[in-house]
């Protein structure tokens, strides 16, 4: 759980996106290369990829994004845009003056990953107990 002075958060997202026309392009050297590229790009935005998987025609990732800094759409747009440029430079022979091809399809799917119900139940039970103890010690 991350925190600032007056707030705590655990914001993780399950994100899925696909190559343009759902081409089966994520294999071999591109797959190995993208793994490192995605982790580095996420670090640059202060995010962390908790887990992920690539199959030939789509990517799943669990990414932690700190809410005070960036919106999910901003981070995913950054990952997709910069990774498309990196792929073109590495595998397409383009070295300079390259703004990025459309490697990725427009859009993505995202859902939040919440705390499990057991964790919440334990938190509530523990919180209730500590609140009762604190009330008894007040005067």
Q: Is there a domain that residue 121 lies in?
A: no
Q: Is there a domain that residue 125 lies in?
A: no
pLDDT of residue 36: 93
Q: Is there a domain that residue 137 lies in?
A: no
The CATH number of whichever domain residue 40 belongs to comes to: 3.30.70.1290
Q: Is there a domain that residue 124 lies in?
A: no
- 123 catalytic per annotation: yes
Q: Is there a domain that residue 132 lies in?
A: no
Q: Is there a domain that residue 136 lies in?
A: no
- Adjacent-strand bridge partners of 60: 16, 53
Q: Name the pLDDT band for 62 (thresholds 50, 70, 90).
A: confident
Q: Is there a domain that residue 134 lies in?
A: no
Containing structural domain, residue 70 = 2-114
Taking only the tens place, the pLDDT of each residue in 95-136 is: 554 555 678 889 999 988 776 555 655 756 676 566 556 555
Q: How many domains does the chain have?
A: 1
Q: With 50 as the cut, is the pLDDT of residue 138 above it?
A: no
Taking only the tens place, the pLDDT of each residue in 2-24 is: 777 777 778 888 888 988 877 77
**Is the torsion defined by CA of 37, 53, 102, 94 positive or negative?**
positive
Strand pairing category for 12-17 and 58-64: antiparallel
More confident residue, 41 or 70: 41
- Is-contact 127 34, C-beta < 8 A? no
More confident residue, 37 or 69: 37
Q: Is there a domain that residue 126 lies in?
A: no
């Amino acid at each position: 759980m991350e925190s600032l002075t007056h707030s705590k958060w655990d914001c993780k997202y399950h994100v899925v996106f696909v190559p343009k026309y759902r081409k089966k392009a994520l294999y071999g050297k591109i797959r190995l290369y993208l793994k490192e590229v995605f982790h580095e790009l996420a670090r640059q935005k202060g995010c962390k990829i908790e887990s992920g998987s690539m199959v030939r025609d789509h990517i799943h990732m669990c990414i932690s994004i700190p809410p005070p800094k960036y919106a999910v759409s901003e981070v995913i747009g950054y990952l997709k845009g910069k990774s498309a440029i990196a792929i073109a430079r590495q595998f397409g022979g383009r070295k300079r003056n390259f703004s990025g091809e459309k490697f990725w399809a427009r859009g993505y799917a995202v859902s939040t990953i919440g705390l499990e119900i057991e964790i919440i139940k334990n938190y509530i039970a523990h919180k209730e107990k500590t609140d009762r103890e604190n009330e008894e010690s007040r005067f």
